[in-house]
């Protein structure tokens, strides 16, 4: 089967999932064509099973906003025709499902029928897509997809609650290649980051307001009052400056390292003792799963799909949004002694196994079969 994969090529979770899915499908013999404006960050190896087609948007001074959807739908038409694709899989509804539907309609004009699968990732439903400016177009393109998947039960429920959706939604959770996250490094180079007696706490995200970055700093502030520790902040985003300022104000700037975007998150997780994710909204929490796969317990909020990933009292703990005291108390409960920490690390890894690639990719294959049969 030849699949056109449409996604955001940047560090966001939806692009990572699309890329990992494309790679896993190519390993199974599918021909996968990524169609996006830049080569996806995690797509290192192009092979005869993996192709990349760049969507170029020519700049024209008349346009205040350059029409990316138009360029994408035209590119989709051309790639589908040239490479005889069988199916389109678009990740993140805005504007990919809309552009995909336009491409489908244009292809119908020349006698080509191609099904479109839309995967909803989170903010395309809960934050951006729900805005009245976008809602009619998002509702329309979800309803016009031949199959729709969401990355958690919680996101499925949000979609049905917030949108007038007539389509069935299949839940296909995000997944992880456990081998990549198995600590094969003999030396995690922990010494580069912290003293022997210090615990290492990590947060990875796009540092947007929805991640509640100030709560990360506030929770860490309380942890370091009881246990010698360091905080590693990975990612770039609009909250970074404010978070750095807060660290200075609290007098903990020397204990917090802002590393920026990194494609070596696995190495950082290798020496991490605890992962913090105090998000306001999180449809799944791929970064929490990545931490768990590396044997790192997670203290997170109980929002959205997080309870489907982080098992309370097993892989870590869940707290109400904004409950800084509770998150700090749970972090200290995990970090208090070697034995407890060891138990949580072991169980975090075990909890991650149900999301391993081999368990989840067949669910997408079944969705593809279903879309092909209804289109």
Binding site for ligand GMT (CB under 6 A): 12-14, 17, 92, 121-123, 151, 174, 206, 210, 281-286
Cβ nearer to ligand GMT, comparing 223 with 348: 348
Cβ nearer to ligand GMT, comparing 31 with 124: 124
Backbone angles phi, psi at 7, to 5 degrees: -160, 175
Q: Considering the complex, what minimum distance in angstroms separates the CB of residue 281 from ligand GMT?
A: 5
Q: Which residues contact 264 (CB under 8 A, 6 or more apart)?
A: none
Separation of alpha carbons 175 and 359, rounded Å? 8
Q: Considering the complex, what minimum distance in angstroms separates the CB of residue 340 from ligand GMT?
A: 28
Beta sheet of 298-301, edge-to-edge order: 256-260, 229-234, 199-204, 274-277, 298-301, 316-319
Cβ nearer to ligand GMT, comparing 174 with 224: 174
Separation of alpha carbons 55 and 58, rounded Å? 10
Q: Considering the complex, what minimum distance in angstroms separates the CB of residue 224 from ligand GMT?
A: 26
Q: Which residue is nearest to ligand GMT (CB)?
A: 122
Query: At CA 336, angle to CA 332 and CA 341, rounded to 5?
Result: 100
Cβ nearer to ligand GMT, comparing 14 with 73: 14
Q: Considering the complex, what minimum distance in angstroms separates the CB of residue 276 from ligand GMT?
A: 15
Cβ nearer to ligand GMT, comparing 104 with 281: 281
Q: Where do we find the tokens 């903010």?
A: 123
Cβ nearer to ligand GMT, comparing 13 with 115: 13
Q: Considering the complex, what minimum distance in angstroms separates the CB of residue 303 from ligand GMT?
A: 9
Separation of alpha carbons 98 and 110, rounded Å? 19
Q: Considering the complex, what minimum distance in angstroms separates the CB of residue 202 from ligand GMT?
A: 16
CA–centroid distance for 22 within its chain = 15
Separation of alpha carbons 57 and 67, rounded Å? 7
Distances (CA, A) of 355 to 29, 56, 309: 22, 35, 9
């Amino acid at each position: 089967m030849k699949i056109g994969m449409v996604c955001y090529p940047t560090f966001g979770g939806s692009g990572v999932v699309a890329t990992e899915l494309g790679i896993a499908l190519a390993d199974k013999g599918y021909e996968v064509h990524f169609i996006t404006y830049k080569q996806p960050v995690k797509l290192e190896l192009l092979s005869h099973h993996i192709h990349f087609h760049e969507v170029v948007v020519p700049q024209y001074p008349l346009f205040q906003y350059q029409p990316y959807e138009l360029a994408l739908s035209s590119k989709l038409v051309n790639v589908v025709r040239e490479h005889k694709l069988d199916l389109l899989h678009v990740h993140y509804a805005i504007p990919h499902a809309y552009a995909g539907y336009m491409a489908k309609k244009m292809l119908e004009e020349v006698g080509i029928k191609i099904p479109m699968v839309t995967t909803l990732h989170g903010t395309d439903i809960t934050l951006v897509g729900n805005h009245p400016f976008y809602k009619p177009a998002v509702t329309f393109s979800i309803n016009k997809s031949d199959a729709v998947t969401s990355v958690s039960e919680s996101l499925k429920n949000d979609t049905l609650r917030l949108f007038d959706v007539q389509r069935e939604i299949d839940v296909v959770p995000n997944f992880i290649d456990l081998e990549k996250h198995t600590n094969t490094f003999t030396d995690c180079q922990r010494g580069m980051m912290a003293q022997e007696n210090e615990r290492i706490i990590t947060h990875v995200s796009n540092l947007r307001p929805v991640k509640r970055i100030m709560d990360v700093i506030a929770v860490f502030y309380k942890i370091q009052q009881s246990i010698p520790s360091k905080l590693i902040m990975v990612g770039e985003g609009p909250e970074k400056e404010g978070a750095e300022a807060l660290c200075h104000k609290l007098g903990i700037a020397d204990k917090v390292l802002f590393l920026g975007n990194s494609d070596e998150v696995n190495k950082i997780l290798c020496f991490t003792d605890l992962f913090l994710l105090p998000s306001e909204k999180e449809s799944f929490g791929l970064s929490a799963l990545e931490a768990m796969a590396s044997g790192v317990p997670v203290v997170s909020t109980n929002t959205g799909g997080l309870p489907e990933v982080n098992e309370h009292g097993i892989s870590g703990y869940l707290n109400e949004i904004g409950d800084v005291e509770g998150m700090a108390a749970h972090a200290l409960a995990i970090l208090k002694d070697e034995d407890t920490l060891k138990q949580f690390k072991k169980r975090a890894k075990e909890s991650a196994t149900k999301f391993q690639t081999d368990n989840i990719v067949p669910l997408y294959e079944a969705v593809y079969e279903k879309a092909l049969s209804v289109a």
